[in-house]
Amino acid sequence: MYQLPEEHEELRAAVRALAEKEIAPHAAEVDEQERYPSEAAAALTAAGFNAIHIPEAYSGQGADAVAACIVIEEVARVDASASLIPAVNKLGTQPILLSASEELKKLVLPSIATGEASASYALSEREAGSDTASMRTRAQLDGDHWVLNGTKCWITNAGESSWYTVMAVTDPNAEKKARGISAFVVHKDDPGFSVGPKEKKLGIKGSPTREIYFENCTIPENRIIGEPGTGLKTALATLDHTRPTIGAQALGIAQGALDAAVEYVKDRKQFGQSISQFQGVQFMLADMAMKIEAARHMVYASAAATERGDKRASFLASAAKTYASDVAMEVTTDAVQLFGGAGYTRDFPVERMMRDAKITQIYEGTNQIQRMVMARHLLKG
Catalytic positions are: 364
Produce one character per residue of 339-352: b if its CB has 16 or more CB atoms within 10 Å, e if not: beeebeeeebbbbb
Range list of H helices, the chain: 6-18, 24-33, 38-47, 65-76, 80-99, 102-113, 231-267, 279-307, 313-339, 350-359, 367-380
Q: Are strands 181-187 and 224-225 parallel, antiparallel or unpaired?
A: antiparallel
Closest CA to 67 of 238, 248, 325: 248
Contacts of 25 by beta carbon, 8 Å cutoff, 6+ apart: none
Where b means 16+ CB within 10 Å and e means fewer, 218-236 reads ebeeebbbbebbbbbbbbe
For 196, list phi and psi in degrees, rounded to 5.
-90, -175
- Please give the biggest Cα pair distance in the chain: 80
**3-state secondary structure at position 58:** helix
Tell me if 255 sits within 8 A of 73, measured CB to CB.
yes
Q: Is 23 helix (H, G, I), strand (E, B) or coil?
A: helix
